[in-house]
Each structure stands twice: as structure tokens, then as C-alpha cells.
Structure 1
Amino acid sequence: MDYPIERIRNFCIIAHIDHGKSTLADRLLDLTGAVSKRESREQILDAMDLERERGITIKAHNVRLNYRAKDGQDYLLNLIDTPGHVDFTYEVSRSLAACEGALLVVDASQGVEAQTIANAYLALENDVHMIPVINKIDLPGADIPRAKEQIEDAVGLDAEEAILISAKEGIGITDVLEAIVTRVPPPSGDRSAPLRALLFDSWFDVYLGAVILVRVFDGEIRPGKSIRLLSTGKDHPVLSVGAFTPKRVDLPSLSAGEVGFVVTGIKSVRETPIGDTLADAGNTQITPYPGFQETKPMVFCGLFPTDSDQYEDLKEALDKLRMNDASFTFEMESSLALGFGFRCGFLGLLHMEIVQERLEREFSLSLISTAPTVVYQVRLTSGEEVTVVNPADLPPVTQIDTIFEPFILGSLYMPTEYLGPVMTLCQERRGIQRELRYLDSRRVQVQYELPLNEVVLDFYDRLKSLSKGYASFDYEWLDTRPAELEKVDVLVSGERVDALSFIVHKDRAYSRGRLLVEKLKEVIPRQMFEVAIQAAIGSRIIARETIGAMRKNVLAKCYGGDITRKRKLLEKQKEGKKRMKQIGRVEVPQEAFMAVLRVSEGSREK
């Protein structure tokens, strides 16, 4: 049925990881009759196996709900389910831009955490009306007064109006739906005006091509019309439009205030950037929706097949994966140690982990990944500026004037008893403290400016172990700053292993190099000849370990006799080892590349 614009409500759910966002979405679908009991399951909107296993939302989803409110009127509710992790902040901001309201879900036992506040600030920037919802009130550890106090102090919302629910038990879900109808403002827009719509998500369908999710602000989209994507300037015919209920349903049109999908026959999601504005074909007067930006990779690593015969399979798999994920980039790379592979760019560490796991699972590949690195800007003595994403590509020291590294602003939330260890960790990682604030007597917020390359290795794991899992972390991009950085190379038997090179602050270069060669000594197997493992900065060797040769006891057959005979046999063995060392090659095992990731962990154990 057609709904007047004043009876449409567009809203999303924002929360920290594991505060019950997907469970609440399930209950809303159950209560509005969007799914039958037979079709119902946990995490209905999470389609990927990875999402269901890890209990996280990776891709945004939209579902249209029909709800008859207590006032007797029928309302159309558009729920936009957003990703929760910091890596996908831009997608969350675009989803919020498509809504008028947001449910801010807070776990009654955990309280306000890092991404609760980060997403709340995003909602405020987009002028979205927030409704606080306190979840998991049925748990024995639930502390509702403390959760309300934190919502008021940290977020600045009136917690007296907070709705108390248990999404798992289905308590208070009707109150949530009523609050959406009464407290979320209806969309504004003119259905007779020229088309203006926001593209907030897209994915690739094998049969349909790129499917785009849009929120229409003005005008309407119907099959047979032509639309223009303002960022590309290209016109495309509309083949079909519709919505998800959560099943895909084709509709005659999408008009102002509505949310749904559009199929235009575009072949790649790279041509449908998230945050773009749609207009009528040929309309050059329309103002693009503010906030659009190209997604840029923040973290890079090399992916190489363990079997060189799988190179073409890996290339094909990456091409297919990029059809669905425009924020992921890759380019060909070759390594003396690992052969042919690809240098891949990701939004963050979780994004990197998910892409690698999908490649191994969905395409049956066995991969080696190099240590993650960040993007460095290098100003040369000639005045030229170059971008370096692979440590092996860093120009020689004599050509470098200044290296600029990316900085982030990290916000950490934790119980007060873990403040000391967490501050020590941040200071070890060259952090600069910006703010320290007590949310209440038991929880504290601290902000640090941190170099991104100190965060990408094992910062999150260390944070969780130091705080016994209670600390939460969120970050935002700050800027690039000059730093005294050096590239440390690793030589095995005099050969430089390019995939083991890393860039580090000069104060840490010696200790990191020393630890790495010690770890490599443990993982590289012994050979029939002596193997030297060295760490070097330029031509200067800063650390060395030697793996002793396996040797045969050539004196076993000598039962006494002249010492010169024994010497002759030992000299002969020595000459053989020398010849072997000249022609022998050392196979570097996969564990050696993982050793780079464990180096910083070892430095704190010592």
C-alpha cells in the first residue's frame, strides 16, 4: 500500500559491538510480522556465515516493516541495520544520513562504551533524533541506574526517557516501536520535485549487476526512467526498484521519504560509490548531498599463495571479492622470498582479517600474509613527494628528506582499575595524552594521539589482555606528522628477504631488529651448512644470530690412530660445508613471516 509521507519513519540501530543490535532487529521483525515463526532465526539480517559466527554486522542491510500503532494508524518503518565496527565508520555515517531517527542501544551490564559514543556523535552530526534503549535488563549483572547516568554524562541524552528492554526475551519491544512512531520525526520532501536521493550501500548480484540501496529525499524513481550518479556524471536506465521485507519485493516506484533498492545494470560496485547523490538524467542543477568522500584504504599487507600454482586462482578470487567491496584495493606485487602475489589495501585490521578469511573459505586458497603496514608520505631531497605502502619500496636513506606517518585519535573506555596498564601501553606506543575524564566512579575515558603503525600490529590484542577484555577502543583519523623512522631489512645467508622488511621508529630499530633475528632463529630450520640471520639498516648490520650446521660425525670410524688423519677428515668436511654454503639456499617457512607480528609482544615480556 502507498503511505503518505507523514506516516513513514526511517531509523537505524547504533550500538557498541555485542550490545544486542542484531537481536533487537530480530525482535522488531518478529513483532511486525515481517518473518513467520518458521522462517525466524537468530541474526536474520546477517547473511554472511562470518557475520553469524563472529556475532558482528559487516554489511549494512535495509528492511521495510509495516506496523499498526496504538493510535490505529498503519505506519511504514524503514530499518537500516548498520555495521558496528570502527573500520566501517564511513558506512555508518552514510546510513545515519539516510535516517531521521536512531535507537542508541546500551548494554545494562556493560554501560556506555567506545563505539556507543563514536556512533552517537555521528548521529548528532547528521541531526538524527536519538532514542536511548537500555538492553539486557534481565541479566543478573544489569545496573540500570548506572547505565542511565552514563548515557546522560557521556552522550548528553535525557535518560529518563530511556526504554528498558530485553531483546533476547522480547521484553519492551512494543515500547520501542511506539517510541519510533511518536518520537522519530517523519521525513520531509517533495514528491513532485526533481529527483534527489542518497546512495548509502551497494553490492554485486550475479544476475542483476550492482544493486544500490537509496534513500529518496525528493522526487521519485520508477522503472523506465534514467538517473544520473553525480560523482561519475554517467546516466543509467532504471530496470527495477523495490524494497526488502526482508524478502526482495519489486515496487512500481520509490518516492520521497522511502528507502529501497534500485537496479540499473551497472556492472561493478566501483561505479556506485557509497555517499553519492542520484538525480534525474541530464539534471546538472541539483546540489550533491553533503559528506560524500572516496573510501581510502588505511592498512596494507601482502597476500601470497603458499603454492605458486594458485596465483591465477588468487587473482580471480580478488577480482570477484572486489565486485562486492569497493573499499578493498589490490595490485600485483612480486617478492624474492614469496614469489608472485598482491599488495592489498583495507579499511582497517578487522576488514583485513575478514577479506583474508573469505578468500581462504570461499575460494579454497592457502595464503601467506605479510605484516600489516600503513601509508607513509616521503619527501625526497629533490623536493618530490612519494607514497610508500610497502616497506621494501622505501627509497635509500641518502635520498630521504622527511618521512610523514599517519596519526589517529584513539578513545579508550575502561573500568578505573585498568587505567594504569592501559596508559603505560599507550605511552610505549608513542602516544600523546589529550584527555582523561571519569564517566563515573567506576569507568574512565582517556584519549591518546597515536601513530597508526603502532596500532596495526597487536595493540588491540594487548589492550584486551591488559584489561581482561573490559577496555573498548575507537579511533578517528587525525593527520600525518614528520617522524624519525628507519627501514630494517632482514638478511638470511646474505640474501635480503624483502617480505620481512619493516619500518620502525629509530629509537626502537635496534631492539626490534634484535628480537626479530632471535625469533627467526627459532623458526628457520637448521641446514647442512651454517646460516647467518642479520638485521640491517641500510648497509649497517645491527643484529645477528647464527643457526649452526647439522654435521655428520666423520671421526666415528677412527678408533685411535694418528691425529693428522682426524684433522684431514675434519678439513675435508669443512671444505664441503663451505662449498655447500656458497650454493645452498634457505627456504624461509611461513612461521617466519608471522614472527614480525610477534616481535613487539616479545619486547614487553623481556
Structure 2
Amino acid sequence: MKNIRNFCIIAHIDHGKSTLADRLLEHTQTISDREMQEQLLDSMDLERERGITIKSHAIQMNYQYEGEEYVLNLIDTPGHVDFSYEVSRSIAACEGALLIVDSSQGIEAQTISNLYLALEHDLEIIPILNKIDLPHSMPEEVSDQIIDMIGCELDDIIKASGKTGQGVGDILEAIVKRIPSPKGDPKAPLQALIFDSVFNPFRGVEVYFRVFNGEINKGDQVKFVNTGKTYDADEIGILQLKQLPQKTISAGNVGYLISGIKVAKEVKVGDTITHVKTPCENAIKGFEDVKPMVFAGIYPVDTTEFEELRASMEKLQLNDASLVWEPETSAALGFGFRCGFLGMLHMEIVQERLEREFDMTVITTVPSVQYHAFTNKGEKIFVNAPSELPDPTLTERVEEPYISAAIITKSEFVGPIISLCMDKRGQIINQVYLTADRVELKFELPLAEIVFDFFDKLKTISKGYASLDYELIGFRRSKLVKLDIMLNGEPVDALSAVVHRDKAYDWGKRICEKLKELLPRQQFEIAIQAAIGSKIIARETVKALRKNVIAKCYGGDITRKRKLLEKQKKGKKRMRQVGSVEIPQEAFMAVLKLD
């Protein structure tokens, strides 16, 4: 056990985690040159296209140091704020963390929030200054920032470059010397923590775990403590580039377990694995339940595919434990699911993965957050969709979730960022200068305001320099109303939204204008209206397509033309009574992109 090291890599998005992980794998000769490719641990097409890590990955390396063989378990983590749940799981399975900071950009919001996660778990932190080969890197300035933040010595900071491979040897040496070996008793009853799971269509669910105490052997009968299910360990092994089956995995090590689990719900990330005959006394303190921040409806375009969509969601949930969903119905779209996501990027990724990995074409409705409505009788109702908001005459008050947001930016962008947050009903709480030109701004904002395009606008204003990190701080009373969108007098529940009263008029007007551009013209006129209760606050009209019925009348009496036009008018009227408006998928998505 003394030669095992478990560590993860934490950093802000785009600071070079995946590239540095590639260099570590090359240096320890875990993979041959032939198998090497960029972003090796990012196995999904989406991750490669967008250049981000979405899933955490685990891989084992062997490293020779001073004549001894060391086993290094690397658990890679994503950097984006929407995937911080993945990071928390990886951190709980490790004893140390490599903190990577881009020497050309310095410390960003996500670096700080991931660092605090690691410090809460008492991990040994190894600070690394990455990208020092870049012409505009600032090693001295950024080293000072790191020293201020974690209180280390200048000599503790390793200078490296993921691109050229400089400093990789020093990093491996530091992992062996500084990160403590795992503690645990191989003779005690088995106690292992599930930190990830993947669905394999041929072999069922593969469970990734870290053993804290005891050992697990091939063929053992094991039990998952929280779900209470028992299984046979058909195959266990370690995770290198390919899975290597083993006879035994003992305390301190990381491995995988295949036991033909068919039902996705039976595997809970953060659960404890133990033996059936000699169970451990208490479960490991796992991860807290994930709190979704953004809710949206996902519906199949073809209503007959509802069951297929359900199966796809279950399989996706295995790979992405932070996805929460339940069935719901909508008058406009039929049967579907109300899903909870950690943020807008998470929602986009889930939708893309459903389309790519499972061939499902889906419609996503307007995202919303969870509100609390209190009725006159004092009952509390959880409102996840606008259609669940009770009648205004029966509600005493509505509360909405607030977040505390930390934004780190260059000082020249402070003005525009403050006005953006004020526009989103935010209050500035604090403003701290980290260095001469880097500022940390603290705001309290309603979560509903940052759900849509806040992050995009923040990046635009700050030329891509600002970084955002946020956490939920509770619910506060607010003046909220339900805004309905109606087509020819029929409300479309998939387009309705809960908005602040002061913004309702502006929001309604913009949606009506946007729908007017997107709805295809029909043989009859379409009225698009935005309403609060029974009060119409905005209206646009899509004109009818008309055949030129008087083309054949050249000259002659006006009454002939009028007769033909009257006849056409009657036909249009009748058509409007029976015609229904088809809403294209772009219309549902357009509401997300209102500028």
C-alpha cells in the first residue's frame, strides 16, 4: 500500500488539465506512441469538439522511482462550473491534487472553488504553473497569486508545460514524495466507495470504485449498502487504457467491478460496497445529493418514441449522475420529462448526447428554476414548471432561489459587469482587488436571471476574461407572475414562463416579435399574444398567405373584384376556425436565445 498514490487534477476550464494528463501517461509509458492521441482521456466526441472535459476519467500508471515501483491512480476532473459535482466525486476518492494554473491567465474563479473542495477533504495540494512556454506567460506574477492563495513556498511551485512536456518528471517526483500513501486496513471488512459508473451495452453497468478498507476478490458476493442489493463480482480489475482483470483489489487501490447489473437505478454514486457475509459497520460518508439549478422539459419530437426516450435517459443518468428527471405531460407536446440540470451548459450537453449517442430527436422547453409558492391556507407548493404555479388569487407569496456569485475579472471591465448584474436584479456585496488589475466581485442574484444567457453576456463584456462561480444561498420573496403565450387564443404551455412583474411586458413583447419571425405563414391569420392572467400585454400578427384571386380581372367593374375578395375572406374565416398552428422546433429554442 505504501507505493500507491491516488490523485486528481483540478483547474479552471482551459488551463491545460487534459494536455498535462496526456504527458503524464506518455512519461510513465502507460501508453505506446502508436496509441497516443490528443486529449486521450476525453473519450466522447463532444469533449474533443468543444475542447472541454465533461466526464471524470480514471486511469492507472506505473512509475519507477529510485528503484521502486509506484502505482499512480489519476482521476481526471472537468473544469466547468456546471460539472462541479463530478469534481467533488473525484476529490473524495483521492489523497492529493495537482492544482494547475495557467501562467498566462492567472487564478480564476473555478480554480478557487475547486481548491476549496479539495481543502475540505484535507488533500495534499501540489501547485503547478502550466503553459510557461507561451511568450506572454507571467510566471512571477502568477506564482505570487498562488503563494497568496494557498500559502506555500516559491520552491513548492512546479513550472511545467503540457505542450512541450517540460517539468513532467518533476511533477511525477512530487506526486511520489509529497502525496501521502492511502491509509486503510487490508484485513478489515471490505469498505469501498463508488465514484463513477458507465453503461456497457454488452455487460451491463460497470462500477468504478476506490477501496478504503479490506479487499475484494473475484467471485465475492458483494452488497451495495444504500440500495441493499447484492451481486456477484464476476469480474474486477484495474483501469489502464484498457481494463485489466485482476484476482484481488486491496485497500487503497482503484478499480472497476462488472456483475451484470441491468437496471441503471441500482447503482448510486457515493454508495458503499461491502461483503455480504462480513459487512462493514458503517457506510462511507458519500457525496451529498446533487441539487439541480435549472429545470426544462425534454419531449420526443415523435410522441411514439416516449418509451425509447425513457430508456435513453436512464442509460444517460448512469454516465451522468447529476441529471435528475421525472415524467410530465404538456398539452402542446404530449408526454415527456421534466429534467433538472446543473446549468445551461449541462443542459446543452445532455441534449446533444441524447441526439448523438441514442439517436433521439428531442424538443427542449424554456428552462426555469424551482420556485416556492405559498397559498392563502399556508401550504407550500414546489413549482418546477410555469404550469404548476397556482392562481394569483389563491397565492399569498412566491419565493425564488438566490445565489451568491463570485466573478473574477480584469479591473477595466468592472463597470460593465456591475451594470449587467444590476440589470439582472443583482446586489453587489463585495469588491476585492486580488492584484493591481484583477478584481473579485461578489453578487447576490436571483438564479432565474442567470439561467438564460448571463454567462455568455459576461464573457462578451469582459472579452472572455471574466470567470464565474456560484452557489445557492436560499429563497427570497419576489413579485413573480406567470406569462402565457397564446396562438389564436390557445395558450401554448411549452412557451409560458415565470417572470418578474417589472420585466413581464418587455419579455412578452420580445417573445411575440421573435415568434412572428419564426412561425411559418398559414392560409389563415395567426394572432400571437402574451398575457398575464386574462390581461393581454403584447400582440403580433402573422399575416395569411393569400392567392391573388383578382389576377384574372383586368379592368372591368370594381364589384367583380370585391365579390371575389369577399368570397376569399369567408374561406379564410372558416379555415381559421378549423386550422391549427404548427410550431417549429426552432421556436422553442429561440426563446432561449432572446437577446
Same fold? TM cut 0.5: yes
Q: Kindly indicate whether residue 295 of structure 2 is the aligned counterpart of residue 300 of structure 1.
A: yes
Of 427, 432, 435 in structure 1, the residue corresponding to residue 427 of structure 2 is 432
Q: Which position in structure 1 is the counterpart of 2:593?
A: 598
| Equivalent of residue 120 in structure 2, options 102, 106, 125 | 125
Aligned position for 2:47: 51
Corresponding letter in the other structure for 2:105: Q
CA distance in 1, matches of 2:440, 2:220: 51
Q: CA deviation at 1:237?
A: 2.8
* Distance change >3 Å, CA 590–CA 208, structure 1 → 2: closer
| Partner Cα distance (2:58, 2:563) in 1 | 81
Pair 156,459 (structure 1): closer, same or farther in 2 beyond 3 Å: farther
1:337–1:498 CA contact under 8 A, matched in 2: yes
Aligned pairs, number: 595
The question of 1:19 aligning with 2:4 is answered no
The structure 1 residue matched to 2:75, chosen from 53, 71, 80, is 80
Structure-2 change in CA distance of 1:565 and 1:439 (3 Å): same
Which deviates further from its counterpart, 564-573 or 214-223? 564-573
Is 1:165–2:151 an aligned residue pair? Answer: no
Deviation at 1:421, TM superposition (A): 1.1
Q: Report whether the alignment pairs 1:99 with 2:89.
A: no
Identify which range, 248-257 or 583-592, moves more after superposition: 583-592
Deviation at 1:556, TM superposition (A): 4.9
The aligned residue for residue 271 of structure 1 is 266
**1:313-333 deviations in Å (ceiling 9; x for gaps):** 434433433343343233443
Of 299-308 and 250-259, more deviation after overlay is shown by 299-308
Output the CA distance in 1 between the equivalents of 2:31 and 2:221.
Answer: 34
CA RMSD of the aligned region, Å?
A: 2.2
Partner of residue 230 from structure 1, selected from 208, 225, 228: 225
Q: Is the 8 A contact 2:189 2:280 kept in 1?
A: no
Aligned residue in 1 for 2:495: 500
Query: Distance between the aligned counterparts of 1:206 and 1:309, measured in 2?
Result: 23
Identity value in percent: 55
Using the alignment, how far apart are the partners of 2:244 and 2:79 within structure 1? 27
| C-alpha distance in 1 between matches for 2:166 and 2:84 | 30
Match of 2:519 among 515, 524, 527: 524
1:524-563 matched pairs, under 5 angstroms: 524-556=519-551
What's 1:604 paired with?
none
Q: Which of 381, 387, 412 in structure 1 is aligned with 2:382?
A: 387
Superposed CA deviations along residues 213-257 of structure 1, whole A, max 9, x for unmatched, are: 222222111123333322223333322321112221112212122
Counterpart for residue 465 of structure 2: 470
Please tell me the residue identity of whatever aligns with 1:7: N
Partner SS state of residue 522, structure 1: helix
Point out where structure 1 has 5 or more consecutive residues left out of the alignment.
602-606
Normalising by structure 2, we get a TM-score of 0.94
Identify which of 397, 412, 415 aligns with 2:392: 397
- Cα drift, residue 174 of structure 1: 0.4
Q: 2:206 aligns with which of 188, 205, 211?
A: 211
Distance 1:412 1:268 in 2: 41
User: In 1, Cα distance between the equivalents of 2:347 and 2:67?
Assistant: 49
Among 353, 367, 374, the alignment partner of 1:372 is 367
CA distance in 1, matches of 2:383, 2:198: 30
2:409 maps to 414
1:30 aligns with 2:26: yes
Among candidates 226, 237, 244, match of residue 242 of structure 1: 237
Q: Which amino acid aligns with 1:541?
A: I
182-191 vs 388-397, greater mean Cα deviation: 388-397
Report the TM-score when normalising by structure 1.
0.93
Q: CA deviation at 1:64?
A: 1.6
Whether the aligned pair in 2 keeps the contact of 1:228 and 1:282 (CA below 8 Å) is: no
The CA distance in 2 between the partners of 1:440 and 1:168, in whole Å, is 28
Q: How far apart in 2 are the matches of 1:176 and 1:394? A: 55
Match of 1:40 among 30, 36, 40: 36
Match for residue 256 of structure 2?
Answer: 261
Q: 1:510 aligns with which of 468, 491, 505?
A: 505
Cα deviations across residues 576-596 of structure 1 (Å, max 9, x unaligned)?
Answer: 333232222222222322332
How far, CA to CA, are the matches of 1:486 and 1:156 in structure 2? 49
Check conservation: 2:218, 2:246, Cα contact below 8 A.
no
Deviation, 1:269, is 4.1
CA drift at 1:85: 2.0
Offset of residue 98 of structure 1? 1.5
- Cα 1:420–1:282 shift into 2, 3 Å: farther
| Letter of the 2:29 counterpart | G
Residues 1:284 and 1:529: Cα distance change in structure 2 (over 3 Å): same
Shift in Å, 1:188: 1.5
Change (3 A) 1:53 1:567: closer
Question: CA 1:94–1:586 in 2, change beyond 3 Å: closer, same or farther?
Answer: closer
Amino acid at match of 1:518: E
Structure 1 stretch displaced more, 584-593 or 58-67: 584-593
